Amino acid sequence: MSQLEIKNLHVSIADKEIVKGLSLTIKGGEVHAIMGPNGTGKSTLSKAIAGHPDYTITSGEVLLDGVSILEKEADERARAGIFLAFQYPSEIPGVSIANFLRAALQARLADGEEIDASGYYKRLYAKMDLLKIDRKFTSRAVNDGFSGGEKKRCEILQMAMLEPKVALMDETDSGLDIDALRIVADGVNTMRGPGLGVLLITHYQRLLDYIVPDYVHVMYDGRIVKSGDKNLAHELEAKGYDWIKKELASAKA
């Protein structure tokens, strides 16, 4: 069973501190949701863990199975088992999904090692069957003219092929229709299991009706200020975030 430990993490962008001492442990099999108002540092957290070069980790630790990943470049972190689902996926006209995924897997192999083509297609088709994706889908160019739902299907298939230990999913729920939400949810629910920990970042409770989280955390001003179970998400949906701000203010006073 894998485990991602985030310990007292501080992250800055252009000398401005955005994540201000955040701790969280995600074990294999667990789904953690982070909710919080806009601008609170949720995307910054996921990009910093994935190794985005614009985000500077000024202190704290991120351990994957007990080993620090902070010295690793983004591609090495991906190879170690961290998967970041992009909020705004890119289009790659002219490159089919099948070839893109093959290149992504090839990139993880050591120099001189080649992906075995028949083994690759066997695995691809097995994952597509698992996720109920039509065979025709992978001959299309990556995200080229895709609907929101098709982009999500592509992303979920990529995740299934890469078999990460930890998936960081930063969702723009606002841009997703119900079909796209279901695609993400069905994919994650299918892959859920001891080998996979999930960090689901979401602004709205809606996604959590489909992917029921084990834990819900509220992030505010760069920190986790409250944690609970799925009921916390319902409470936030009903009451907004102001009561949490008030709680924090009265705790300080």
Q: Which does 44 bind (CB under 5 to 8 A by kind): Mg ion, ligand ADP, none?
A: ligand ADP
Nearer Cβ to ligand ADP, position 43 or 143? Answer: 43
Alpha helices per DSSP H over the chain:
42-50, 74-80, 97-106, 117-130, 148-162, 178-191, 207-210, 230-239, 242-252
Between 137 and 204, CB nearer to Mg ion: 204
Q: Where does this chain bind Mg ion (CB under 5 A)?
A: 42-43
Residues that bind ligand ADP (CB under 6 A): 13-14, 18, 36, 38-44, 54
* Residue nearer to ligand ADP on the CB measure, 137 or 204: 204
**β pairing state of 82-85 and 55-64:** unpaired
| Helix, strand, coil share of the chain (percent; to 5) | 40, 30, 30
Residue 38 binds which of ligand ADP, Mg ion, none (CB < 5-8 A, kind-dependent): ligand ADP
Distance from C-alpha of 211 to C-alpha of 188, rounded to nearest angstrom: 7
Tell me the C-alpha distance between 203 and 104, whole Å: 29
- Residue 8 amino acid letter: N
* 39 contact choice in Mg ion, ligand ADP, none (CB below 5 to 8 Å, kind-dependent): ligand ADP
Q: Which residue, 41 or 124, is less far from Mg ion as judged by CB?
A: 41
194 binds, among Mg ion, ligand ADP, none (CB under 5 to 8 A by kind): none
